[in-house]
Amino acid sequence: MKLNGRLTIEDLNALPEIPIEGINYEQIYIEKEPICPEYTPPDETIIPSHKRKVVIDPGRICMPFGAMWASVGVHKCIPFVQGAQGCTTYPRYTFSRIFREPVSIATASFHEDAVVFGGRKNLIEGIRNLICRYQPEVISVITVCSSEIIGDDIDSYLDEAKEQLEEEFGPEVSDRVKFVIIHTPSFAGSHIEGYNRAAKAFLQTLAKKRSPNNKVNIIPGIVTPGDIREVKHILRLMGIENIILFDISGTLDCPLRLPQSMPYYPKGGTKSEEIMDMANSLATFALSPHEGKAGATYLEKRFKVPAIIGPLPLGVHNTDIFVKRLAEVTGRPIPEEIKDERGILLDAMADTFHYTMMRRVAICGDPDIVAAATRFTCELGMEPVAIFNGTPSKDFAREVWAVGEEYNYKPTIFNGGDMFEWEDFIKREKVDLILGNSKAVNVAKETDTPIVRIGFPIYDRVGYQRRANIGYRGGEYLLDLIVNTILDSKFPDDRVHQ
Amino acid sequence: MPIPESYKLKCDYCIPQRYKHMALTSRKQPNIPACNIKTVPGDMTERGCAFAGARGVVGGPIGDCIQVIHAPAGCAWYQWGTRRNLSAIYAWAEPNKLCNDSHNRRRAITTDLKEKDVIFGGVKKLRDACLEAWRLIPGAGGILIYTTCTSGLIGDDCHSVAREVEAEIGKPVFVIDSPGLCGVSQSTGHHHFNVQFYDQMVQYRKRHPEVCMKEEEKTPYDINIVGDFNMDWDLALIKPLFEKLGCRIVCVFTGGERMRNLLKMPDAKLNVLHCQRSCTYISKLVEQGYEVPYVPVSLFGIEQSAKALRDVAKFFGSKEMMDRAEQIIEQEIKTITPALNFYRAKLEGKKVGMYVGGPRVWHWPKVMKELGMKVVFAMCTFAHEDDYEKINARQEDGVFIIDAPNEFEIEECLERFKPDLFLTGLKEKYLARKFGVPTVNSHSYERGPYVMFRGSINFARDIYQGIYAPVWKFTKDKDFM
């Protein structure tokens, strides 16, 4: 039972012949050694994150990462990260892990001398090298902790870089590239704020007033390529022309098609002319309030394009709001197909509430998706018990509290602390289901709680980046995942046949 | 010898300073490309930072320490449960239940520096954080504190914190000062970890002689495995063979090891040094400080694994051990021959491109040869001159080598040399696949362990699966191009 078909290390090394298929790690039984002989409980007095300084298992990463996420959603845009190489390499690892795609991000390659003398030389030389080899259309210059602390004057460095470019390659090369500067010192916020700042920076730099375009702007926030495709699907059904800012569906989920051109550029992404044209749209929908609000409000203040902030259209209520507002803004009716899609989701909910109702659920992740998922679980009759968001936000707490009031629940809200306290709560209070990202898997396994993976990051299973959780069809998919996971873990097989 | 004109990659025409990083191998007169020097900014390098080398590569595998990252949350997050350096040591999840993931990969522990800390300093926060972590994750063997760009730039005196915390908890608290931006690549971080760990270990042994191995506990055949990080449980195949040989393994530096064993490192008789890029430093220091010699080995493939066993046996000079080495080698070869023959028949003549950090580019040419494959180009992220000497010696003549290659150079090499397989890491493997070239993850492996005799079958299988996956034939259908 213990070995479960696996070989001990001794057996493995005594095997007289290794089979053609080899013997892998997962076939080896490794006896777990406890770190210390006896279980010792953690000091309870400092489990709440506000009672301590140490952060254990943060539910957030660094601000530049969010700016990079946004930038890679722009067509032929290469982020140029003004900092040490790790500030580029780690995010690239993270992207590759989640999306299983290559991601091109340049680095200024800070070494010690850059700290002593400033990053001027690195930026000027780096921008030049990047442009002459890759001919990008847009470069987003992203600062990090180190360049912010040493106080690099990016604007003046960039002016100098442009001057030198013009001198070396002529104006046709230097004029073709657009530069967007995004300041993202990580000690001042998380990836959520990084995306938010990127939205504003891109629009501030590129958006230009021209004649009205009758389009709708969408800033989706940190969602999957699948989610963005679902938004496009809804807009298509409603016949609404649109501009999606940071369209990673065309850059982080790309076909394998030969021959490939060099250097590798994904075909998709938001074109810089489209970003320019966002000043002329009917309205801007920032689907994730924390990731895009700054961009949408900028367009409203500067170009009088109305900003419609959130909520993330996940679940029935939130998608209803999105669709109704789309109809209001464009004057178009809600089409039959969308009513049918909504009906199919409701039908699925009607078919499954006996499985979902009164189940206790814990949720973790980024603020907007967690708030929306909390509401969706309530719509399924589930009870949100422990709701964790990695990036502190008053709006988030208000929203989750309001959902709780509406459905008569009082979830414990962990707003911006760390996953350690959320985990401790689940270990003590037991829940029926966890909705969370790959970082919650250990918690799920250790508490024998089934998990449904949502949000950022999911790297331990395949395909989630292609699936939508938002919109009615996304809701239907998420509902199926939730119900099937409950069936897998809570029901004997003879209870699920009819 | 400078690289011939015809080998100068087109993508570098406007950054000709890259050409000195290229060379053609030669066994007689080694051609060493420019290496371990500053990266060309904006060249789309694949290199990482010193912190990655210190925390991710060398420190990360340590099994029982609380590893506190003194930085904003991001740096800790990126190191959280990523590299598959596995360990058997698990923290308690609750009474009678151990955690799901080994202790070294289970958590991200950080001071989460904020703007306020950057302005006023983070020393107090670090001290509190270490003591709190100690109370929240009981039972650890010590604490390792890592600095990063932020804490390095604000100049926090982490060593004073370490001394205070150590006095309070009664376990070693070491500081690894290796901010991301110091040095040209992650290799600097390896170096920093080695030197700083060694210094603090020596001091700690002086202050606490009770942690040293007692004379009566020592055996004449005590060895350390140095520079193995237990990727996908490589140690499940390495340790038993050296034990069969008659050695006793005092510690592994650092794969899945406990702090108390690491502190006994100088008490062994021999260091068996596997990763000769990241861990030669400490081997040399232990040799200088404690007169413990080291023997460099390659633990990949048949010929090299056999040589490693023979070299260790020869070091101890015991006839019995040398005979045992021969018996082990004979037995091991017998167990894998049928499977190896299967793969050899499938892989004979296939072309392979290699791009790994450094040592594997010289660990693996022999392995490729044993599978009948031909290396067409080889690249290293952070190799030094000694690595390139070994690459020259172990590759066939005329293999194109590039130091610290960037994305565009990789693409051009894939198109130019058209390898049947590309041995590479996580970031680059997805790029290669877009060009229709199969890959095997050469850092964390696809499905390891890959070392020693038995592991070589896993390696061969993953190479075979890469090349023979049915998907590739669909990519070549002209009607869909």
Cα–Cα dist B112/B71, whole Å: 6
Q: Which helix (H) or strand (E) holds A176?
A: helix A171-176
Q: Say if the Cβ atoms of B99 and A446 lie within 8 Å.
A: yes
Helix H, strand E, coil C: the string for A182-201 is ECCCHHHCEHHHHHHHHHHH
Given this model, what pLDDT does residue A492 score?
Answer: 84
pLDDT digits (tens, 9 = 90+) for A161-203: 999 999 999 998 888 999 999 999 999 999 999 999 999 999 9
Given this model, what pLDDT does residue A497 score?
Answer: 67
Looking at chain B, the domain(s) classified CATH 3.40.50.1980 span: 50-183, 215-327
Give the end-to-end CA distance of chain A in Å, rounded to a whole number: 33
**A283-286 and A307-309 strand pairing:** parallel
Closest-CA residue of B relative to A99 is: B430
Cα–Cα dist B387/A275, whole Å: 48
pLDDT digits (tens, 9 = 90+) for B162-201: 999 999 999 999 999 999 999 999 999 999 999 999 999 9
The pLDDT profile of chain A, 498 residues, written as one tens digit per residue, is 678 899 999 999 999 999 999 999 999 999 999 999 999 999 999 999 999 999 999 999 999 999 999 999 999 999 999 999 999 999 999 999 999 999 999 999 999 999 899 999 999 999 999 999 999 999 999 999 999 999 999 999 999 999 999 999 999 888 899 999 999 999 999 999 999 999 999 999 999 999 999 999 999 999 999 999 999 999 999 999 999 999 999 999 999 999 999 999 999 999 999 999 999 999 999 999 999 999 999 999 999 999 999 999 999 999 999 999 999 999 999 999 999 999 999 999 999 999 999 999 999 999 999 999 999 999 999 999 999 999 999 999 999 999 999 999 999 999 999 999 999 999 999 999 999 999 999 999 999 999 999 999 999 999 999 999 999 999 999 999 999 999 999 888 887 766
Catalytic residue among B23, B52, B71, B325: B52
Cα–Cα dist A204/A477, whole Å: 37
Q: pTM here? A: 0.97
B471 contacts in chain A (CB < 8 Å): 256
Residue B361 has pLDDT above 90, yes or no: yes
Interface contacts (A, B; CB < 8 Å): 367
Q: Of B99, B149, B334, which has the smallest distance from its Cβ to A146's Cβ?
A: B149
For range B32-58, the mean pLDDT: 97
> Residue B190 catalytic?
yes
Closest-CA residue of A relative to B472 is: A256
Q: What percent of chain B is modeled with pLDDT above 90? A: 99
DSSP B42: T
Which letter, b or e, does each residue of A363-397 get, where b requires 16 or more Cβ atoms within 10 Å of its Cβ? bbbbbbbbbbbbbbbbbbbbbbbbbbbbbbbeebb
Cβ–Cβ < 8 Å for B133, B57: no
Q: Of A26, A96, A128, which has the smallest distance from its Cβ to B426's Cβ?
A: A96
Rama region for A365: left / alpha / beta (φ>0; ψ in -120 to 50; rest): left
Return the CATH number of the domain spanning residue range A337-495.
Answer: 3.40.50.1980
Return the CATH number of the domain spanning residue range A216-252+267-336.
Answer: 3.40.50.1980
pLDDT digits (tens, 9 = 90+) for B288-336: 999 999 999 999 999 999 999 999 999 999 999 999 999 999 999 999 9
> Residue B49 catalytic?
yes
Fold of B50-183: Rossmann fold (3.40.50)
B338 contacts in chain A (CB < 8 Å): 17, 20
Tokens of A45: 């007095």
Q: Which of A103, A129, A428 to mutate to test the interface with B (most CBs of B within 10 A)?
A: A129
- What mean pLDDT, rounded, does chain B reach? 97
Q: Which of B136, B244, B409, B463 to mutate to test the interface with A (most CBs of A within 10 A)?
A: B136
Cβ–Cβ < 8 Å for A369, A290: no
Given this model, what pLDDT does residue A498 score?
Answer: 60
The CATH class of the A63-188 domain is: alpha beta
pLDDT digits (tens, 9 = 90+) for B125-134: 999 999 999 9
pLDDT digits (tens, 9 = 90+) for A14-52: 999 999 999 999 999 999 999 999 999 999 999 999 999
Fold of B215-327: Rossmann fold (3.40.50)
Domain ranges in chain A?
Answer: 7-51, 63-188, 216-252+267-336, 337-495
